[in-house]
Structure 1
Amino acid sequence: MSVAIPSRPTLRFGRIAPTLPVTDIDRALAFYVDVLGFTKTFENGTPVGFVILKKDAAELHLSLHPAHKPSTQNLAHLLVDDATALHDHLDQAGIRIIKSLRDADYGLRGFVFADQDGNRIDVGQRL
């Protein structure tokens, strides 16, 4: 059985940003702003339950989910210009490194870390 695929409309995609569930917005902001250097550009709710963060070309959304349980899957992929420097910075800050820094045969140097809520972020640098 084959499925007919309708023609795709011609359209331009805009930004796409991952939304990470967090159990404590203030704690998450302390990490993403103070440790990683993001800037909060938007917040919503009283108390705040959603924020948008930006750093350079990266955008990240944080959403309050008090019952959040961490996943074993990577929830975001972050391309950087120096994966070694970020790895060393996070390691010195006591952030949990899930997968060690390595050069992969597909052309990226990378590692995986987890934020305080266990959200895994895969970091890569093009070689």
Structure 2
Amino acid sequence: MTSEIRRTFYPLINCADPATAMEWLEKAFGFTPYGVHKDDSGKIVHAEMLYDTGIFMFGIGAPGTSAIYVAVDDPDAHHDRAKAAGAEIFRELTDQDYGSRDYAAHDQDGNEWYFGTYRP
């Protein structure tokens, strides 16, 4: 019997050209494209790639920067806890069009953390 993997942590990698990055990452490292989300003009704004049981997400951003997305069951409670602890919330809780409810915060060193219900 095969059970579905319930992932929690998803590294987020930023790149200038997600389409070119996906092609290169597949060729160089053997990553497999998993999900591609494009805007109305056909430009990739978010993508996911797999390797074995791991997955990472990436999109358009300053190359060389990264963040972590963490799937949580109750983003509202998680948001309130982070805010009470002094986290700098830079994107408030939002219901996304793809079904997730999430928010984003900086930790004390300025690292970006995204928390929400999305699980690719």
* TM-score, normalising length: structure 2: 0.45
Structure with max Cα Rg: 1
* TM-score, normalising length: structure 1: 0.43
